[in-house]
Chains A and B, each alone.
Chain A
Amino acid sequence: MKTIKVSVVTPDGPVYDSDVEMVSTKAQSGELGVLPGHIPMVAPLQIGAVRLKKEGKMEFIAVSGGFLEVRPDQVTILAQSAETASHIDVERALRAKERAEQRMREQKAEHIDFRRAELALQRAINRLAVSEKRF
């Protein structure tokens, strides 16, 4: 089966590098699947999971925003932070989730901190979901 090279890079270093059969991501405009031979494309990503189909199995990476760059033979994901399922610090994510929820209770909805807390909550929930692989 044809494969496509995927690399996930973050400012703190490369996170993932491998050949896979399919990449599915959550772009700002909606779910986006990429197969080998896709035309060159750039799309911003939402906070969400990247699903990689490799040798018939699924692998998951949690990404917090960033970009997807597609070329016919290569997909690059530029994210501000990204973790593979096994690298997620579940306790930290749980703590972050609680903290974010707490802040959202204290702040008014139109305050900028509220929006920040909301994003933090999304990231935490995303990490937890990826670590448990439920979608």
Chain B
Amino acid sequence: MASLRDIKNSINSTKKMSQITKAMEMTSAAKWNRGVMNAKAFVPYMEKIQEVTASIAIGAGGVNHPMLQHRPVKKTGYIVMTSDRGLAGAFNSNVIRKVHQTIQSRHQSNDEFAIIAIGRVARDFFVKRGMNVILEIVGVSDQPSFESIKDITSSTVGMFADGTFDELYVYYSHYQSAISQEVTEKKLLPLADLSTSHKLISYEFEPSAEEILEVLLPQYAESLIYGALLDSKASEHAARMTAMRNATDNAQEMIKSYSLKYNRARQAAITQEIAEIVGGAAALE
């Protein structure tokens, strides 16, 4: 049986750990709140740009733009969104597993796909396995502004335009609620299924539909990526918050059982001492 001191030490270290996980839970909760707010603030922009893009692309009919056209797929691009740090439960591994499985089942060789890794976890995973990572982004802030990730989105969209890959998927954790996030696959490019629930309006174009699509479509694709990133960030913080809450709960449980052990051991020691004293006194008589 462990000595009293050993048990005391484990109680103390578990307590310290639970303090840390508790603190992490609270910071994640704050970040989660902000993350959800950011994702919400983005919705009006997304809806509007989707509506306008759909109206133009469908309404203007007969316009050809490379981003709307399916071309024979020689190479597929995958954007993988994970976090930079772990301790978020199954958040990262879920996304990575899904991507890994998809790539294994769809492709035979490294030349058929290209990975754009966002977040340190995804980068480390795919680089370590020698998979074709063509762009890696680490250190995305917890509340990314559109401006700050402009480089990522525009270079990704640029890669599609210059033929680095012929279709583009994004994998990220879609935020459903604080306790549930779902790995989602979304086809970004070519922009195939544009549709709108609103009534189509026939616009006048200034200067022309082609020129507007030229500017609008890249922006639309960029905002899709940005939207996915916001979604992923909200999920990350929610997942970390839940993971840390569980860790704190488990630590409390452990402290409880250690305390019980400690009290038993202490009582046993006292009983033994009394027995020794009584034994000693009896021997003197």
Q: Which residues of A contact B (CB under 8 A)?
A: 9-14, 27-29, 32, 39-44, 66-67, 69, 71, 76, 78, 80-81
Task: For B45, give its contact among A11, A43, A69 (CB under 8 Å).
Answer: A11
CA distance A13 to B219 in the complex (A): 16
Contacts A42-B212, A44-B211, A44-B216: A9 and B48 contacting too (C-beta < 8 A)?
yes
CA distance A86 to B223 in the complex (A): 26
Question: Is there a chain A Cβ closer than 8 Å to B56's Cβ?
Answer: yes
Q: How far is the CB of B279 from chain A (nearest CB, A)?
A: 79
Contacts A43-B212, A44-B211: A14 and B206 contacting too (C-beta < 8 A)?
no
Residues of B close to A39: CB separation below 8 A: 204
Contact A42 B42 (CB under 8 A): no
Contact B206 A27 (CB under 8 A): yes
Size bin of chain B's contact surface: 20 to 34
Residues of B close to A9: CB separation below 8 A: 44-45, 48
Contact B206 A78 (CB under 8 A): no
Task: For B147, give its contact among A13, A14, A29, A81 (CB under 8 Å).
Answer: A81
B14-65 contacts to A, CB under 8 A, are: 38, 41-42, 44-46, 48-49, 52, 56
Residues of B close to A14: CB separation below 8 A: 41, 44-45
Question: Is there a chain A Cβ closer than 8 Å to B125's Cβ?
Answer: no
CA distance A14 to B44 in the complex (A): 7
Contacts A11-B42, A11-B146, A44-B216: A78 and B211 contacting too (C-beta < 8 A)?
no
Q: How far is the CB of A122 from chain B (nearest CB, A)?
A: 15
Task: For B206, give its contact among A10, A11, A41, A81 (CB under 8 Å).
Answer: A41
Question: Is there a chain A Cβ closer than 8 Å to B145's Cβ?
Answer: yes
Residues of A close to B201: CB separation below 8 A: 40, 71
Q: How far is the CB of A14 from chain B (nearest CB, A)?
A: 6
Residues of B close to A27: CB separation below 8 A: 206
Question: Is there a chain A Cβ closer than 8 Å to B284's Cβ?
Answer: no
Contact B146 A12 (CB under 8 A): yes
CA distance A66 to B41 in the complex (A): 18
Q: How far is the CB of B40 from chain A (nearest CB, A)?
A: 8
